[in-house]
Amino acid sequence: GQGIEFDYCYVHAAFACKELKYDTVMVNCNPETVSTDYDTSDRLYFEPLTFEDVMSIVEIEKPDGVIVQFGGQTPLRLALPLSRAGVPILGTSADAIDRAEDRERFDELLVKLSLRRPRGGIARGVKEAFTVADKIGYPVLVRPSYVLGGRAMEIVHTRADLSRYMAIALESIEEAESRTILIDEFLKDAIEVDVDCVSDGKRVVIGGVMQHIEEAGVHSGDSSMVLPAHALPPEVQGTIRSATRGLALELGVVGLMNVQYAVRGSAVYVIEVNPRASRTVPFISKATGVPLAKIAAKVMAGQTLEEIGFTREVVPKHVAVKESVFPFHKFPGVDIILGPEMRSTGEVMGIADTFPNAFLKAQLGSGVDLPDSGRVFISVRNDDKPAAAELALRLSELGLEIVATTGTQKAFGRAGVTAGHLNKVTDGRPHIVDSLLNGEIAMVINTTEGAQAIHDSKSLRRQTLLSGVPYFTTIAAATAAVGAIEARREHPMTVRSLQEYHADIAR
C-alpha cells in the first residue's frame, strides 16, 4: 500500500480472510505499516510490487487467488499482466479494471449509461495535447493515465503552461504500459463528491456520499470532506447514488468501487471511476461503524452482501469531517497551495452533531487553532470578492479586525465592509509578510488564479505556515472556518466516544 489508508484496508482484508479460514500472504515493501506486522497475515514478503517480483511469489505460494483492490493504484496496474499470466484475480476482473482505467473504453461505458462527463480527450504527444486543449478551451485538467496520488496532475491555464507540463508528464510515464495523457475540461466552481460503494456483482450498497469542502480541482486525498454531504440537494444525491449503482453493475464490480463526481448546479458529471478501495474507505468506516474493507474482502472470497448482512446504506445522524495533514514544515521553499497533485501525509476526523462543530474539531485535530480575536488578512481573486465580503462582515461582527490588499479592500468598501489596508509583497513595504513576521496576523484568507498571481503570493503562503497562522486558500474552506468560529462562540465544544455515535446510528 502507498499510505496508511490502504494499509488499513489490507489489514482488515487479512482479518476477514482469517475469519473465512483462509491463509493469507501479504506482499508489501513498506515496513512502516501495520500490514507488515508479524501477526497480521500468515506469510509476509517484503518485495517491490512489480510484475516479476509478484510472479516469483505466486510460483512459490500457488495462491487460490490474488487481491489487488486494496493497495491503491500500484497493485491495480498489475491486474492485467497478472491475469494474462494466468493468475486468478479475486473480485473485480482485470478486464473490468481496464474498462474503467482506459479512456476510450470508459467513455463508451458512460455513453451506454447516459452519464455526463467533462469534455476531454487523449494525447500521446505535445501536438495532440495542443489540439485537444484548444478544442476544449482553457483551463484544462491534465494527467497521465494510471497515475499515483495525482502525480503529475495539473490545472493548466495557457498553451505555454501546457507545453511545459507535457515535457514533465511524458517523462513521468516513460515506463508505463500506457503512455497517454488525459486532458479534461476543468469544471470551475463545481462541487466535488466522492462515493464509495461495495458490490457482490448483483447488489450494490453505498458506503457513503462525501462532499468535498474545497471546490473541484483539489486532490481527494488533500481535500477536506464531510459525511453525509451537507449542501447537496436531495435530487442531486439521488442522481449520484443511482449513477454509482449503474456503474458498479455495468462494470461487474465485485468488492469496492470509488466514483468521483463534479456537481455544477443540478448537473452531475462523472470525473473518474476507481474499481478499488479508495483513501476514503477508513474515514467512512470510522464515521459509520461499517467495516467496508472487511465486507469487500468477504465478497471477493465468494460471500454475498445478503449473507454478510449489509444490504442498505448507513447514513449517520452525526456529521463527520475529514481534514488532511501536510508536511510542509519539513520542506523549506515548497508552496502550500493545494491542487490536483496529492501532497498530504495523513488525516484526522472531527465528529459532532453539526457541520461547523465537526469542522472545528477537525481543524483542532490537524493542529490548526482558529482565532477568536486579532487581525484577519484577506486577499482574494476577483471572482471570490463578493463571497469574501460576506465573510469579512461576519468576522467583523465577531470582533475580529479585517485588513486587505488594495483590490479586495475596495470591493469590501463597495459592500459596506470596513477593512484596513495592507500591501501585497509586490507593492512594497511594509507588506503582509512583514506583518506575519511581527505576529500581527491571526488568520489568512488568500485565493489566487493564474501562474503569475500564484507565484507572486508564494512568499505570503510560506510565511503564514512558518508563523503557525491558520490559512485558507479556497473560499469554501474559509467559509467553513468562519462558521466554526461562530459555532464555538455560540456553544461550548462537546466530546463523545466513537462508540456512542455508532450506537445512535444503530437505534
Domains of the chain (ranges; CATH) run 4-90 (3.40.50.20), 93-118+190-364 (3.30.470.20), 119-185 (3.30.1490.20), 365-490 (3.40.50.1380)
Q: Residue 500 CB: number of other CB atoms within 10 A?
A: 11
Residues in the chain: 507
Contact residues for 339 (Cβ-Cβ < 8 A; gap 6+): 153, 154, 155, 217, 218, 219
Chain CA centroid to CA 156, Å = 19
Best CA proximity match to 258, nearest among 290, 292, 294: 292
The label of the residue with cell 475596495 reads 410
Q: What is the Cα–Cα distance from 48 to 45, expressed in whole angstroms?
A: 9
| Confidence tier at 149 by pLDDT (50, 70, 90) | very low
Whole-number pLDDT of residue 66: 95
The answer to whether the beta carbons of residues 260 and 272 sit under 8 Å apart is yes
Coil vs helix vs strand at 199:
strand
Q: pLDDT by residue (tens digit) across 418-452?
A: 999 998 888 888 889 999 999 999 999 988 876 66
209-234: pLDDT as tens digits: 999 987 766 777 778 899 999 889 99
What distances in angstroms separate CA 284 from CA 122, 133, 200, 322, one per listed residue?
33, 36, 19, 10
pLDDT band at 331 (very low <50, low <70, confident <90, very high): confident
Distance, C-alpha 236 to centroid of its chain: 20
Q: For residue 392, give every residue at least 6 positions away whose Cβ sits within 8 Å of its Cβ, in sequence order, or none.
A: 376, 378, 402, 404, 412, 417, 419
Q: Give 154-170 pLDDT, tens digit per residue.
A: 888 888 888 888 877 76
pLDDT tens sequence across 280-325: 999 999 999 999 999 999 999 999 999 999 999 999 999 999 998 8
Helix (H, G, I), strand (E, B) or coil at 297: helix
Res. 334: pLDDT tops 90:
no
In 62-185, where does DSSP find H-type helix?
Answer: 73-76, 79-84, 94-101, 103-112, 126-136, 159-172
Q: Radius of gyration of the chain from Cα atoms?
A: 24
CA distance 319 to 357: 9
Give the burial class of 398: count Cβ atoms within 10 A of its Cβ; 0-12 exposed, 13-18 middle, 19 or more buried.
Answer: middle
Q: Which pairing describes strands 471-472 and 443-446: parallel, antiparallel, or unpaired?
A: parallel
Q: CA-CA distance, 367 to 486, in Å (whole number)?
A: 19
Q: pLDDT tens digits, residue range 14-24? A: 999 999 999 99
- Residue 414's CB: how many other CB atoms inside 10 A? 10
